[in-house]
Amino acid sequence: NSIISAYEQGGKAAAAVELFHGMMESGVSPDVLTLVSLASAVAQCGDERGAKSVHCYVRRRGWDVGDIIAGNAMVDMYAKLSKIDAAQMVFDNLPDRDVVSWNTLITGYMQNGLANEAIRIYNDMQNHEGLKPIQGTFVSVLPAYSNLGALQQGMRMHALSIKTGLNLDVYVSTCLIDLYAKCGKLVEAMLLFEHMPRRSTGPWNAIIAGLGVHGHGAKALNLFSQMQQEGIKPDNVTFVSLLAACSHAGLVDQGRSFFDSMQTVYGIVPIAKHYACMVDMLGRAGQLDK
């Protein structure tokens, strides 16, 4: 179990699946924790057939309804495979649901771009007495409000985070910055940014992206300089935010420079989002051939 889990958590999902087969061939019977790790591994591999096999094994043992950890793992597995109807079905059949069950389903809808459905599930969760939101709830639901521009609902969730003390959590705070920035409340977003710990890239990425999308390219670039001065190493998301900011502000030369330095200085290999930002930036500037 330990080595299968280690491979799965380390991003070596295929190796984890192979180890499981070796475990079965050795005559060692898997337990619930084995199947939880295996479910995550097959989801990472995009192995739909393997997922069905895992689910069948779990059902034969009665773990899908008898063990909430296994049930939650099945919801998560199907959601990550974009089988959200199957995830919902497993969730509906759970005899008992904890806050992790609800969070897993909400996150599943968000991972599949279904923000309205994620909010619907959250609203259903609120109607269940005794279930209080945890960090994962805020991190799942706030992006849904951000994507829909639902500022009032997001503000109510901000108040709830203060009430529960989770507004101080860096992940929750980052989601709040993103919410206010995407809804055009840049002053509020900046205030949140200035009053939270900024030792990770998340808050910087959120505020840079928010400023950029509203055309404040110079401010976004100044924040990037400040980020470097404070010793925070940018990641690939930072450069997506920067390139998008350059695109919206028409800062073509700066954008091309960032695209180059991302690779030569920081060793970050461009992915599709970086190329898309460059295409958008050059297209807006009329440089269609480039």
Extended beta strands in the chain, E state: none
The contacts of residue 49 (CB under 8 Å, 6+ apart) are none
pLDDT computed for residue 57 by the predictor: 85
Helix (H, G, I), strand (E, B) or coil at 83: coil
Residue 54, CA distances (Å) to 17, 50, 83, 85 in order: 11, 6, 15, 17
Give me 225's structure tokens: 């300089």
The band of 142, judged by pLDDT with boundaries at 50, 70 and 90, is very high
Cα gap 177→34, rounded to integer Å: 38
DSSP string, 211-238: HHHTT-HHHHHHHHHHHHHTTPPP-HHH
The contacts of residue 194 (CB under 8 Å, 6+ apart) are none
pLDDT computed for residue 101 by the predictor: 94
Whether residue 126 contacts residue 94, with contact meaning beta carbons closer than 8 Å, is answered with: no
The band of 223, judged by pLDDT with boundaries at 50, 70 and 90, is very high
Cα gap 225→228, rounded to integer Å: 5
The band of 30, judged by pLDDT with boundaries at 50, 70 and 90, is confident
pLDDT computed for residue 150 by the predictor: 95
Residues in the chain, total:
290
**pTM here?**
0.83
The band of 128, judged by pLDDT with boundaries at 50, 70 and 90, is confident
Residue 131 exposed, middle or buried by CB count within 10 Å (0-12, 13-18, 19+): middle
Average pLDDT over residues 233-241: 95
- What mean pLDDT value characterizes the chain? 89
DSSP letter, residue 169: S
Average pLDDT over residues 22-39: 75
Give me 110's structure tokens: 């968000």
Cα gap 229→12, rounded to integer Å: 35
